[in-house]
């Protein structure tokens, strides 16, 4: 287990370093900031001074090391739109996104996993087909379209729910539904497949054969074995939620990181964009790292030797 943790930790750190390097390369490729940011007729000595101030006159390797050092200190530059350090601008949006994403994640898990289990147990019945139909609809419906349909129905026609903002719990209902449908559908589908695979194995038959009631056989024997593929998909779902949050937050004017990123991209507020990208990338690396470690806990075979 220790070896596994060390290898995975090194890999995660390397991935984050790669991401920071990539952002640095892209930033330098995308043009000379002195030319893009300063007005066109800026006198040459002002341009030179600007370069010196921001260290743009130094050789690239020196700039790279400085960039890394700054990133380690959490210094990602100043947001043009806001005139404050980009890190603050981004961090103050994080709670709203975590609230929306966390709630959605919990709801999707609570709906998707049981649906998948039920579909697997009642294989080839109407229940199974209904769950699979929900799953296919869930991940085929574009979330911006689902969001707009919900607004049309529940905010404009029925006037039950507010269409934008984040003041009360009612504001969360439609964004959570919009964001969670695809995740719940995917989870239901994978849980079903994983359960069906496990239930075909001999040990379930053995458990049933020695007189274990079906419910017990499923809970005690099938679920723990089906957990590994499901945990993998849960890891991927976190990425899907982050991507989906961009659109969902924009549709419902939810004041989170996703909406901030969309606005920063339209305004080309590069400091904010790179902060969000690095933040999301590191979060995803950490999430995958935890999923990898969860494997170790769930599967004694992986715990032993590393992969």
Partner 1 sequence: MSVVMGRRRAAIPPAILVALAWLAAMVLVAVLADALAPHHYTTQNLRARLQPPMFWGGSWAYPLGTDSIGRDMLSRVIYGIRFSILIAVLGTLIGAVLGTVLGAIAAHRRGLVEEATMMMVDFQAAVPFIILALAALAFFGNNFWLFVLIVGLDGWERYARLTRGLVLSAQDSGYAVAIRTLGAGPVRVYAGHILPNIASALVVQMTLNFPGTILLETSLSFLGLGIQPPLTSLGLLLASGRALLLNAWWIAVLPGVVIFLTTLSMSLVGDWLRDRLDPTLSH
Helix (H, G, I), strand (E, B) or coil at 122: coil
Start-to-end Cα distance in the chain: 11
Query: Smallest gap, in angstroms, from Cβ of residue 99 to partner 1?
Result: 19
Phi-psi region of 55 (alpha: psi -120 to 50; beta: other; left: phi over 0): left
Which member of 34, 184, 207, 261 binds partner 1 (CB under 8 A)? 261
Q: Determine the Cα–Cα distance for residues 87 and 80; give it in Å rounded to an integer.
A: 13
**Of 84, 48, 47, 15, whose CA–CA distance to 271 is shortest?**
84
Looking at beta carbons only, is 103 or 283 nearer to partner 1? 283
C-beta separation of 306 from 4 below 8 A: yes
Where in 287-306 is the site for partner 1 (CB under 8 A)?
Answer: 287-288
Which member of 93, 166, 273, 296 binds partner 1 (CB under 8 A)? 273
Query: Smallest gap, in angstroms, from Cβ of residue 280 to partner 1?
Result: 5
Which member of 41, 83, 124, 266 binds partner 1 (CB under 8 A)? 266
Name the residue with tokens 């390797």. Answer: 61
C-beta separation of 252 from 267 below 8 A: no
Where in 15-34 is the site for partner 1 (CB under 8 A)?
Answer: 15, 18-19, 23, 26-27, 29-30
| Chain positions contacting partner 1, by CB under 8 A | 14-15, 18-19, 23, 26-27, 29-30, 136-137, 139-145, 148-149, 151-152, 156, 190, 193, 229, 236, 239-240, 242-243, 246-247, 250-251, 261-262, 264-266, 268-270, 273-274, 276-277, 280-281, 284-285, 287-288
């Amino acid at each position: 287990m220790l070896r596994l943790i060390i290898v995975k930790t090194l890999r995660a750190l390397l991935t984050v370093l790669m991401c920071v390097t990539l952002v640095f390369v892209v930033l330098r490729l995308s043009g000379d900031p002195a030319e893009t940011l300063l007005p066109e007729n800026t006198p040459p000595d002002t341009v030179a001074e600007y370069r010196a101030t921001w260290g743009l006159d130094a050789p690239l390797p020196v700039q790279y090391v400085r960039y890394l050092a700054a990133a380690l200190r959490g210094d990602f530059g100043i947001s043009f739109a806001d005139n404050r350090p980009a890190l603050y601008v981004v961090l103050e949006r994080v709670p709203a996104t975590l609230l929306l994403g966390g709630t959605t994640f919990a709801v999707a898990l609570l709906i998707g996993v049981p649906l998948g289990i039920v579909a697997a147990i009642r294989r080839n019945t109407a229940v199974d087909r209904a769950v699979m139909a929900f799953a296919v609809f869930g991940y085929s419906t574009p979330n911006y379209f689902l969001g707009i349909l919900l607004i049309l129905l529940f905010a404009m026609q029925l006037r039950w729910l507010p269409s934008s903002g984040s003041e009360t719990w009612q504001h969360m209902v439609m964004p959570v539904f919009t964001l969670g449908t695809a995740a719940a559908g995917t989870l239901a589908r994978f849980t079903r497949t994983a359960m069906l695979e496990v239930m075909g194995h001999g040990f379930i038959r053995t458990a049933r054969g020695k007189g274990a009631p079906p419910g017990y056989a499923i809970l005690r024997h099938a679920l723990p074995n089906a957990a590994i593929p499901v945990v993998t998909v849960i890891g991927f779902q976190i990425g899907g939620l982050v991507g989906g949050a961009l659109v969902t937050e924009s549709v419902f004017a939810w004041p989170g990181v996703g909406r901030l990123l969309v606005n920063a991209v339209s305004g080309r507020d590069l400091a904010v964009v790179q902060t969000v990208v690095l933040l999301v990338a590191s979060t995803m690396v950490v999430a995958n790292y935890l999923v990898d470690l969860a494997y170790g806990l769930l599967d004694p075979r992986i715990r032993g030797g590393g992969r």
